[in-house]
């Protein structure tokens, strides 16, 4: 490898950030500089080191941040400075990505480079639209063709520069960057002998929650796309396989497809909800309104751990409580054997699962996942010692109820919840005002309060914006703060919240 650094030409895939390759992520993590394009999902930048320099060089049809020659020179300069450069490109760098030109510039400068292939939108966008580019009964061949108008020759009869007679007989044709030239493409194929009734599908923002598909045939697809107001970026598929969408559609008919959902959980916890929402087709927008941090003083928790054998019950009200308790337990050199003789209760199956992963089985998981249910189901606690490790701002209901029943309760702060940084509060507020957020999810009372404080004055919500709460306690807090709650999960878990949203939005049929 050259001592002057290295450049990794990385294919970021077609839009869905989950489609980047393992090698691509490895190179992003190692990079000193990330030079990225317009169609890159911002989530991919989270895989870079905090110290990495990020340089946007995106191109749009009407304006370029940098010319291609300037991008080539930038890559050379950064590598010659001894830096590891991740050149993050949409799709595959060698499929109409001008990666070949960048590689030539690096080779001419004698610099080390590596090409990390990516999944091209030419096959991924059709696949996410339910269209296989090949099929044993419909297509034995396919070709990927540029649909981009060649600069400076707009007046020519063949402005794209394609040999239409040569490609007209290919079973499946996939055109990239061809929205503006769609009338030319359709007419040129018809003139070259393709049946005007050949099925066509135009796929915008393929593989993302913004995916939109316009279907038709060569004779009418240009008019249909224009009537739909379909702007770029889009992929056009021409061939009999395009008709299979009606049968094989799987992605954009998911129950929450296209819904933009605000996730207000702490950053460390948001990924679970975001992943579940994505699996249902939604576009999660993470806005952590709280942060989970250790207690100011570990001493009370350490003392509770030392006398753990003296407790009759230890009640865990959240996964966070389990995690911080266990962290300190291990620091003191103990393990699950320290709970011998102590019965365990957990509010909710997720908390119970957190205990189970550490070799502990909860003796009590109430049917309803709220503090009041513990009081109803725990039985007699008169004279019993109860350990309650939880958040600094936890509701007093459980501790007060146990004491009223005669228990000796030690409330221990296992972790603190503080207001999130709110770096993007102004942006989120504007998104709400503009109606660009469909759902606000609230999972505990703390995020509700912090959301209202972060966005103060809280914006008036459009009629279509739904507020969904994980349970009745969170919903009560939201209503007290003036938020209209439309959805309350019957099961007070992340899966229950997602199921409630699916139920809310599964009325009616989805259309193209």
Residues identified as active-site: 37, 59, 177
d(CA 30, CA 48): 7
Q: Are strands 313-316 and 385-391 parallel, antiparallel or unpaired?
A: parallel
Helices (H), 239-318: 245-248, 267-279, 299-306
d(CA 80, CA 74): 10
Name the 3-class secondary structure at 469: strand
* Rg for the chain, CA atoms, rounded: 28
**C-beta separation of 79 from 106 below 8 A:** yes
**C-beta separation of 242 from 201 below 8 A:** yes
**C-beta separation of 233 from 204 below 8 A:** yes
Q: Which residues pair with 33 in a beta bridge?
A: 53, 85
Name the 3-class secondary structure at 142: strand
d(CA 411, CA 451): 27
For the chain, helix (H) and strand (E) counts, in that order, are 18, 22
Burial class (CB in 10 A: 0-12, 13-18, 19+), 211: buried
Residues 6+ apart with CB under 8 A from 220: none
d(CA 257, CA 502): 10
d(CA 347, CA 360): 14
d(CA 209, CA 25): 22
d(CA 20, CA 119): 7
**C-beta separation of 487 from 469 below 8 A:** yes
DSSP conformation class of 135: B
Give me the residue label for tokens 């605000």: 262
DSSP E strands, 382-459: 385-391, 408-419, 439-442
**C-beta separation of 464 from 434 below 8 A:** no
DSSP E strands, 229-293: 234-238, 260-263, 283-286, 290-293
């Amino acid at each position: 490898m050259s001592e002057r650094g290295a450049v990794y030409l990385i294919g970021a895939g077609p839009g869905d950030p989950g489609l980047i390759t393992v090698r691509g992520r490895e190179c992003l993590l190692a990079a000193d500089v990330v030079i990225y394009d317009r169609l890159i999902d911002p989530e991919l930048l989270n895989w870079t080191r905090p110290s990495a320099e990020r340089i946007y060089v995106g191109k749009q049809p009407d304006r370029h941040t940098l010319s291609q020659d300037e991008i080539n020179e930038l890559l050379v300069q950064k590598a010659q400075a001894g830096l590891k450069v991740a050149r993050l490109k949409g799709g595959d760098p060698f499929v109409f990505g001008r990666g070949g030109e960048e590689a030539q510039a690096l080779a001419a400068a004698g610099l080390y480079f590596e090409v990390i292939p990516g999944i091209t939108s030419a096959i991924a966008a059709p696949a996410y639209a339910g269209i296989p580019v090949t099929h044993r009964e419909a297509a034995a061949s396919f070709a990927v063709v540029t649909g981009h108008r060649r600069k400076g020759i707009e007046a020519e009869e063949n402005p794209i520069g394609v040999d239409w007679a040569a490609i007209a007989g290919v079973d499946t044709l996939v055109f990239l960057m061809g929205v503006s030239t769609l009338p030319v493409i359709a007419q040129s194929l018809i003139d070259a002998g393709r049946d005007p009734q050949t099925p066509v599908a135009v796929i915008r923002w393929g593989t993302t929650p913004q995916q939109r598909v316009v279907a038709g045939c060569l004779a009418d697809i240009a008019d249909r796309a224009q009537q739909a107001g379909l702007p770029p970026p889009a992929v056009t598929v021409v061939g009999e396989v395009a008709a299979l969408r009606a049968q094989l559609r799987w992605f954009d008919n998911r129950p929450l497809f296209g819904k933009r959902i605000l996730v207000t959980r702490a950053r460390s916890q948001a990924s679970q909800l975001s992943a579940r929402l994505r699996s249902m087709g939604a576009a999660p927008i993470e806005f952590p309104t709280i942060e989970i941090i250790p207690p100011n003083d570990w001493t009370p928790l350490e003392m509770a751990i030392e006398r753990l054998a003296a407790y009759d019950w230890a009640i865990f009200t959240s996964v966070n409580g389990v995690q911080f308790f266990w962290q300190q337990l291990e620091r003191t050199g103990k393990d699950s054997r320290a709970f011998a003789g102590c019965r365990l209760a957990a509010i909710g199956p997720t908390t119970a699962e957190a205990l189970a992963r550490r070799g502990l089985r909860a003796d009590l998981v109430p049917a309803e996942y709220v503090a009041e249910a513990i009081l109803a189901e725990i039985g007699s606690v008169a004279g019993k010692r109860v350990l309650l490790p939880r958040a600094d701002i936890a509701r007093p209901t459980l501790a007060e109820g146990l004491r009223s029943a005669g228990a000796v309760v030690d409330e221990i702060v296992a972790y603190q919840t503080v207001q999130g940084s709110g770096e993007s509060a102004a942006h989120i507020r504007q998104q709400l005002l503009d109606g660009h957020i469909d759902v606000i999810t609230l999972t505990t009372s703390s995020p509700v309060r912090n959301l209202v404080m972060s966005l103060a004055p809280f914006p008036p919500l459009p009629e279509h914006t739904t507020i969904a709460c994980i349970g009745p306690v969170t919903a009560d807090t939201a209503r007290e703060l003036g938020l209209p709650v439309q959805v309350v999960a019957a099961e007070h878990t992340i899966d229950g919240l997602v199921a409630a949203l699916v139920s809310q939005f599964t009325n009616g049929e989805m259309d193209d």
